[in-house]
Amino acid sequence: MSKKKMLFEVQESETIEECLDRMKQQGYTPVRRMEKPIFQEVKKSNEIIYEPIGRQIVFEGRVIG
């Protein structure tokens, strides 16, 4: 029997610890952490340059039990 999985994204006004606490309150435990960079297009002269401006952190959670 497979256990239900759910994704939890760390919100802008939230710390990683707060996200993990939120997961625990909903009955999930983290099993995987994923990070993706967030880029912004900047046009300089005739070039388009992609500059990193942040990152998105997502935890995959599995039901506790």
Q: Which domain holds residue 42?
A: 5-63
- What is the domain count for the chain? 1
Which DSSP state fits 14? -
pLDDT at 1 over 80: no
**Closest to 63 in 3D by CA, of 24, 9, 32, 33:** 24
Secondary structure element (H or E) that encloses residue 47, with its range: strand 47-63
pLDDT at 2 over 60: no
Strands 5-9 and 47-63: antiparallel
For residue range 30-65, what is the model confidence (pLDDT) as tens digits?
A: 999 999 999 999 998 899 999 999 999 999 999 987
In this prediction the pTM is 0.78
Per the structure block, which two tokens stand in for 7? 């994704």
Q: How much is the mean pLDDT over the chain?
A: 92
Instruction: Return the pLDDT at 22.
Output: 96
Instruction: Return the pLDDT at 5.
Output: 86
